[in-house]
Chain A
């Protein structure tokens, strides 16, 4: 898929793909985990949320296998430099979950 095409098809996440989540204490491990996830497998960064009380969550979407591989690598990376509080792979989230994720859409200014 070309970069330009990806740029044009920015759209809401409806839970059509698997969802991968990583939550860390502080944003440095979260950014490091994002970088490793994006490099490890064919996943797309969809959301980033500073929840408060130092918790930061990053979310990626893609095929279940790609998301599983990415989350595994990202969680290890985050734990190696900081505190990982949670990691999860949701294979087939219900559309309502997609709506919650879309509230923190990375492409929305």
Chain B
């Protein structure tokens, strides 16, 4: 994975909310879905990448989408020009490695 310009992260409780948020994020701005992780006990995260402003807009709309459904967003953040070593963590959740062959 080439170095992302910005990384957008969002975490909520339950797959239903997270899928809704991922849908809203990718429809809002020009961002690419990097990966997804079932953290544990219902905590699920989605990771996107793109330009800083695109990631900010996307994460904002993702948070709004979850709140509109009455769900709770545990945490969300946009990391501009993430440190290259973060890829060591994010690559574990890359969709490429999660999808069935």
Interface residues of A (CB under 8 A from B): 25-29, 31-32, 34-35, 38-39, 44-45, 48, 50-56, 58, 81-82, 106-107
Convert B1-35 into 0s and 1s, putting 1 for each residue whose CB lies closer than 8 angstroms to a CB of A. 00000010111000000000000000000000000
A-B contact pairs, 11 of them (CB 8 A): A25-B43, A25-B74, A26-B74, A27-B39, A29-B75, A31-B90, A32-B9, A35-B79, A45-B85, A82-B11, A106-B85
A56 partner residues in chain B, CB cutoff 8 A: 39
Partner of A31, one of B9, B41, B43, B74: B9
**B68: Cβ under 8 A from any A Cβ:** no
Please report the number of residue pairs spanning A and B whose Cβ atoms sit closer than 8 angstroms.
79
Instruction: Say which residue of A28, A29, A34, A54 sits within 8 Å of B86 (CB atoms).
Output: A34
Residues on the B chain within 8 Å of A82, using CB: 11, 74-75
Quote the shortest CB–CB distance from B27 to chain A (angstroms): 21
